[in-house]
């Protein structure tokens, strides 16, 4: 009995130490900490788009602009990243510059987080990792560019983004321009249905395809305002379906001409196969190919996508309160 009591006390001491250590691995920016204390609306932002999705120096300029847009719409931006083993929820100006300019920033999904923290390394967070950290921090709204999904040829490679698994397990409202058009859109939509992840089109019944306003697939549900989305979020909590994410598909206003898009995609896929690119390296590789082959048009569209999604996400966060 005494031994059991000693063991139990030791377990509690060890567990408490682990909790304190984990808390020390998470740092809130001054702005986000103040917003949490005041119960102000907050919008989570991923950092992979800064480190891997956009070229320098426009990556930093876009990141700063996105944060400004969220503030202008009445919410607080919380860009999420890992720097030297510390999880940051919200970045100070110098930290944002580090994510944009350092050469040792890797790309972290959920499975990488503990390893990177324990080894004191730095990484930008994918959609999956950002959603996971945002959910832990109690931030229910997240803006990104395009989701990951099922890759072409996944019936042989089993290449499917961890974004889908994460969103099937998290209470998160995520605003995006559909899934990246480099993916198998039809297969991704089937997986979203199987995983019971909520999906609505913002002012559209057509599922957007990132650079394209219409991927070629229809949507069952449409919403026309941030307030309507907030009502859906509240209803999800009331009926117990909030343990899966809600995707708000927000199409870009000015799309790439479809035939040009398809031609660039075809050459990019062929080039990636020739160069042996696979796994999580595929997306940044193809995005860079689009940027080069389109003479910067894809970069302009990508920039407009994230700006528009930040504005809508901020409106949703405000409407939720």
pLDDT score of 159? 75
In a domain? residue 298: yes
In a domain, 11, yes or no: no
Does residue 9 fall inside a structural domain?
Answer: no
**Global confidence as pTM:** 0.89
Cα separation, 161 vs 179, whole angstroms: 11
In a domain, 5, yes or no: no
Q: State the residue range of the domain holding 216.
A: 25-320
Confirm if 26 and 132 have CB atoms less than 8 A apart. no
Residue 2 lies in a domain: no
Q: Is 180 a catalytic residue?
A: yes
Q: 147 in helix, strand or coil? A: strand
Q: Which parts of the chain sit beneath pLDDT 50? A: 1-6, 8, 10-23
Output the pLDDT for position 12. Answer: 43
235 inside domain: yes
User: What digits encode the pLDDT tens for the residues 145-182?
Assistant: 999 888 776 666 677 788 999 999 999 999 999 988 78
User: Catalytic residue among 31, 95, 107, 180, which?
Assistant: 180
Annotated catalytic residue within 46, 160, 255, 297:
46
Q: What is the pLDDT of residue 2?
A: 44
In a domain, 104, yes or no: yes
pLDDT for 257-278, tens place per residue? 999 999 998 999 899 889 988 7
Residue 49 lies in a domain: yes
Give catalytic status of residue 18 as yes or no. Answer: no
What is the predicted pLDDT for the residue at 153? Answer: 67
Are β-strands 198-202 and 246-249 bridged in parallel, bridged antiparallel, or unpaired? Answer: parallel
- The CATH number of the domain holding residue 249 is 3.40.1790.10
Per-residue pLDDT at 82: 98
> Where does 123-237 show beta strands of DSSP type E?
123-125, 141-143, 173-176, 198-202, 206-209, 212-218, 222-223
Q: Parallel, antiparallel, or unpaired for β 212-218 and 206-209? A: antiparallel
pLDDT at 24: 53
pLDDT of residue 21: 45
How many structural domains is the chain composed of? 1
């Amino acid at each position: 009995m005494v031994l059991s009591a000693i063991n139990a006390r030791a377990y509690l001491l060890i567990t408490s130490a682990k909790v304190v250590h984990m808390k020390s691995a998470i740092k809130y920016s001054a702005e986000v900490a103040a917003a949490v204390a005041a119960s102000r609306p907050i919008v989570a932002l991923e950092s992979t788009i800064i480190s891997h999705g956009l070229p320098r120096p426009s990556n930093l300029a876009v990141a700063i602009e996105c944060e400004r847009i969220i503030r202008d719409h009445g919410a607080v931006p919380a860009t999420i990243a890992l720097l030297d083993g510390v999880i940051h929820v919200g970045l100070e100006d110098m930290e944002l510059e580090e994510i944009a300019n350092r050469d040792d920033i890797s790309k972290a999904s959920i499975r990488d987080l503990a390893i990177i923290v324990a080894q004191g390394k730095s990484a930008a967070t994918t959609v999956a990792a950002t959603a996971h950290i945002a959910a832990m921090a109690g931030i229910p709204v997240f803006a990104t560019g395009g989701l990951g999904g099922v890759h072409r040829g996944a019936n042989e490679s089993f290449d499917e983004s961890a974004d889908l698994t994460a969103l099937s397990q998290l209470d998160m409202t995520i605003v995006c321009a559909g899934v990246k058009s480099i993916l198998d859109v039809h297969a991704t939509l089937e997986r979203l249905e199987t995983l019971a992840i909520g999906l609505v089109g913002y002012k559209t019944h057509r599922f957007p395809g990132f650079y394209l306003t219409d991927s070629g697939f229809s949507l069952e549900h449409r919403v026309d305002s941030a307030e309507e989305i907030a009502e859906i979020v509240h209803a999800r909590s009331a009926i117990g379906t909030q343990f899966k994410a809600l995707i708000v598909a927000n199409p870009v206003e000015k799309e790439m001409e479809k035939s040009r898009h398809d031609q660039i995609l075809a050459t990019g896929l062929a080039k990636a196969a020739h160069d042996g690119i696979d796994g999580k390296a595929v997306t940044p590789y193809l995005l860079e190919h689009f940027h080069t082959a389109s003479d910067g048009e894809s970069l302009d569209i990508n920039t407009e996508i994230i700006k528009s999604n930040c504005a809508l996400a901020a409106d949703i966060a405000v409407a939720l309160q």
